[in-house]
A = this chain, B = another copy of it.
Amino acid sequence: MAVGEFDLIAKYFARPVRRAVLGGGDDCALLQPTRGMQWAVSTDALVEGRHFLSTVPPDALGHKSLAVNLSDLAACGAKPVAFTLSLTLPRVDEAFLAGFAEGLYALADAHDIELVGGDTTAGPLNIGITVMGEVPPGQALRRGGAKPGDELWVSGRLGDARLALEAFRGQVSLRGEAFEDVRRAMERPQPRVALGLALRGIASAAIDLSDGLVGDLGHVLRASAVGATLRLADIPHGVHVAACSEAQRRTCLLAGGDDYELLFAAPASAHARVRDAGARAGVPVACIGTLDAEPGLRVVDTHGAPVALTERAFDHFISG
């Protein structure tokens, strides 16, 4: 049975709208922005082999597709409001659609946001999401506000997603519960929305970690025209990354990719307020370095001795 575009969208994605004035099914969705608020917008597409493996369960893919976009709103300290979905599918696979919609909506519901527009087309699998959120004028976290002397912080723990990728690639051997642990980090990242909101007025700059610590920190340093000293031993990680060889651990921590944690700077005087923001958001935060007037990135070991840096950004365009 041929199921047309309209039926497909309706069956798995149509829901009554709640806050939106008009939801999907017309030419446009209509939203009423809260008076005086700024509108934060971000878009990210997910492509098989770049952002996810063919082995990913559909519900995890639905979750991750929205999660990586919400992570961008989190990095701006914006409160998520709505999103659109543009889904290109090789075929009408109802089991896939049902699972994908389930994972997508579970995360949308957790953040109380609505799907307000959709588009489904036949073609190689491609998942495009645009998220919209609100932030009071002047309060958005940006990449460009870090100052020399600020402390550098990161949320959660890094490297598990990259370790899972290495395990899928057969580069490391992980079994049973250990494999499931890191696989969960790769397939079901938790966007740090509550932390982003809690850091408004505290953090001087922020970015979400999608391409690895070194690469994404580089964006902050360039935008803020500062340098940084990063303490390798203070980068938070789990037991599976700790059990790796030193070279593998450095790859996972410095060039991981897909961490979807927040990297942010804050004045040293705000140290306790940052800890408090993390506690309120229920997310561990770790101070991993300082920002310097001297340009460039310096990585130091537990003794403060310099560590030569060979890692670069995890680039979804170039690498696999």
Known: A116-B41, A121-B316. A28 touches B76 (CB 8 A): yes
Contact of A130 with B27 in the complex, beta carbons under 8 Å = no
A78 and B36 CA atoms in complex are apart in Å by 20
Contact of A117 with B43 in the complex, beta carbons under 8 Å = yes
Give A213 Cβ to nearest chain B Cβ, in Å.
Answer: 15
A73 and B100 CA atoms in complex are apart in Å by 28
Q: Please give the number of chain A residues whose Cβ is less than 8 angstroms from any Cβ of chain B in the complex.
A: 71
A124 and B48 CA atoms in complex are apart in Å by 10
Known: A118-B43, A121-B51. A27 touches B315 (CB 8 A): no
Known: A35-B35, A142-B26. A45 touches B128 (CB 8 A): yes
Contact of A33 with B39 in the complex, beta carbons under 8 Å = yes
- Chain B residues contacting A40 (CB-CB under 8 Å) are 28-31
- Segment with Cβ contacts to B, from A79-87, A229-237, A282-290: A79-87
| In the assembled complex, A5 has its CB within 8 A of some CB on chain B | yes
- Chain B residues contacting A110 (CB-CB under 8 Å) are none
Interface residues of A in 37-73 (CB under 8 A from B): 37-45, 47-51, 72-73
A142 and B135 CA atoms in complex are apart in Å by 29
Contact of B124 with A28 in the complex, beta carbons under 8 Å = no
Contact of A121 with B84 in the complex, beta carbons under 8 Å = no
Q: Which of B26, B30, B45, B119 lies in contact with A39, CB distance below 8 A?
A: B30
Q: CB-nearest residue of chain B relative to A262?
A: B27
A266 and B84 CA atoms in complex are apart in Å by 30
Give A131 Cβ to nearest chain B Cβ, in Å.
Answer: 8
Contact of B121 with A28 in the complex, beta carbons under 8 Å = no
- Chain B residues contacting A41 (CB-CB under 8 Å) are 28-31, 82, 84, 116-117, 130, 132
A232 and B262 CA atoms in complex are apart in Å by 59
A196 and B47 CA atoms in complex are apart in Å by 35
Give A100 Cβ to nearest chain B Cβ, in Å.
Answer: 16
Contacts from A to B (Cβ < 8 Å)? 2, 4-5, 8, 21-22, 25-33, 35-45, 47-51, 72-73, 75-76, 78, 82, 84-86, 88, 92, 116-124, 126, 128, 130, 132-133, 135, 137, 140, 142-144, 206-208, 223, 313, 315-318
